[in-house]
């Protein structure tokens, strides 16, 4: 059943190009994005005043990325909430708000409760769900399925990647209907979307190099992940992946926030992963890289191909193929998934079933 792979997580990472294609292609038609299951007229899309994205764990991290994408492209204000917080904070429900609940399993107790909370206030709920017929899929007003197929490993990889695709498609669709994007840019972005599966495959092919690197860090105790904007969202996911399966303590930090406290933890040899995919923020994060470097950190940088001057400041660099800036998460997360996987494997842990964790969290 593992198809020759040692663990489901590796198999599922390798299924990402297909999962992305399967989620993407049914919604691309004649140069347009068609999401029939959205159940919204263009008029309703134009009327949206605010979007709540509500989820837990990695699904929440896709929401953090989506906030940048929706706000940047469609100019719709987005609030991203942890489902376990949303329920108890007495959120403000106004007309023309759309609630998006993101969940692989469709059974996460807090996400389901948040869905019910939103619905009971008359807010339209869209589910982005992987498991067909699950509770969230059944109770949402509309469901946009991610077609990742069954995910067995506790650490999510392919479902995460398909959730990102669902957000991109929605944001692009909303941007187009609301007249916020030119046809030319829209078409370029569709081409970039279509290139993602092959680009993910290319990054996966780099696995031996990442395994060699990971094997140097099996005994490490703390890792910091830094980035700005979407790169911060990527860092949050990279950090969760590592903690979850390798039991190494890690933290994701907005790079500009380091000097407000955390930099005191950096010492000789501390591993810092820096993500720099957003060109307009590149120089800012580069200076944060230099700051941690001066304090003795070992820096792993994930950045766009061509940014070779980073090699003066970072110790180890992974280059990403070119894509639209809003899609960078889909590429940058691949080496970070592989890194976590190989640290866990190298430590001889049960990669697929980390201690204390369940695949779907059906208790609050
Ligand atoms: O099934 P869901 O997407 O609702 O699950 C949400 C989280 O429990 C999940 O993403 C969790 O954080 C993953 N194990 C992370 O890899």
Give the residue-averaged pLDDT of 252-261: 94
Tell me, in angstroms, the distance from the centre of ligand 1 to residue 159's CA.
Answer: 9
Helix (H) or strand (E) holding 145: strand 142-145
The protein residue whose alpha carbon is closest to atom 16 in ligand 1 is: 155
pLDDT per residue as tens digits for the range 155-181? 999 999 999 999 999 999 999 999 999
Token pair belonging to 239: 């950090």
pTM of the model: 0.98
Give the nearest ligand 1 atom to 157 CA: 16
Tell me, in angstroms, the distance from the centre of ligand 1 to residue 337's CA.
Answer: 15
The protein residue whose alpha carbon is closest to atom 8 in ligand 1 is: 57
Count Cα neighbours of 238 within 13 Å in the Cβ-side half-sphere.
Answer: 31
Give the residue-averaged pLDDT of 20-45: 97
pLDDT per residue as tens digits for the range 79-103? 999 999 998 989 999 999 999 999 9
* Residue 155 near ligand 1, beta carbon < 6 Å: yes
Cβ 88 vs Cβ 54: under 8 Å: no
Give the nearest ligand 1 atom to 159 CA: 3
Give the residue-averaged pLDDT of 327-342: 98
- pLDDT computed for residue 360 by the predictor: 85
Tell me, in angstroms, the distance from the centre of ligand 1 to residue 56's CA.
Answer: 6
* Residue 156 near ligand 1, beta carbon < 6 Å: yes
Judging by beta carbons within 10 Å of its beta carbon (0-12, 13-18, 19+), is residue 110 exposed, middle or buried? buried
Provide the 10 A C-beta neighbour count for residue 354: 18
Test site for ligand 1: of 56, 113, 145, 244, most ligand atoms within 8 A of the Cβ: 56
- In the chain, count H helices and then E strands: 13, 12
Tell me, in angstroms, the distance from the centre of ligand 1 to residue 106's CA.
Answer: 10
Catalytic residue flag (residue 119) = no
* Residue 135 near ligand 1, beta carbon < 6 Å: no
């Amino acid at each position: 059943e593992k198809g020759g792979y040692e663990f489901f997580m590796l198999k599922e990472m390798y299924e990402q190009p297909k999962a992305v294609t399967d989620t993407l292609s049914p919604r691309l038609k004649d140069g347009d994005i068609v999401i029939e299951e959205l159940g919204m007229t263009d008029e309703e899309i134009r009327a949206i005043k605010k979007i709540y994205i509500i989820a837990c764990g990695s699904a929440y991290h896709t929401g953090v990325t989506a906030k940048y994408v929706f706000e940047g492209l469609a100019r719709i204000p987005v609030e991203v909430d942890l489902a376990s917080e949303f329920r108890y904070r007495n959120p403000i429900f106004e007309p023309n708000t759309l609630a998006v609940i993101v969940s692989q399993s469709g059974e996460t107790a807090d996400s389901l409760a948040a869905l019910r909370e939103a619905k009971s206030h008359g807010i339209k709920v869209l589910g982005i769900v992987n498991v067909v017929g699950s509770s969230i899929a059944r109770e949402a007003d509309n469901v946009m399925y991610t077609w990742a197929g069954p995910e067995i490993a506790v650490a999510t990889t392919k479902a995460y990647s398909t959730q990102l695709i669902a957000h991109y498609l929605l944001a692009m669709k909303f941007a187009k209907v609301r007249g916020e994007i030119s046809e030319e840019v829209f078409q370029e972005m569709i081409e970039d979307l279509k290139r993602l599966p092959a680009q993910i495959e290319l990054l996966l092919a780099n696995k031996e190099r990442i395994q060699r690197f990971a094997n140097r860090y099996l005994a490490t105790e703390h890792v910091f992940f830094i980035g700005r904007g979407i790169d911060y969202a990527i860092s949050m996911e990279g950090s969760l992946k590592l903690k979850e399966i390798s039991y190494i303590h890690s933290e994701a930090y907005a790079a500009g926030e380091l000097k407000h406290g955390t930099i005191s933890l950096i010492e000789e040899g501390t591993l810092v992963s820096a993500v720099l995919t957003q060109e307009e923020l590149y120089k800012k994060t580069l200076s944060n890289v230099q700051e941690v470097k001066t304090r003795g950190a070992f820096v792993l940088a994930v950045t766009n191909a061509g940014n070779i001057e980073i090699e003066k400041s970072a110790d180890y660099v992974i280059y990403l193929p070119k894509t639209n800036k809003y899609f960078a998460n889909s590429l940058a997360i691949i080496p970070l998934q592989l890194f976590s996987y190989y640290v866990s494997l190298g430590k001889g842990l049960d990669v697929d079933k980390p201690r204390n964790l369940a695949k779907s969290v059906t208790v609050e």
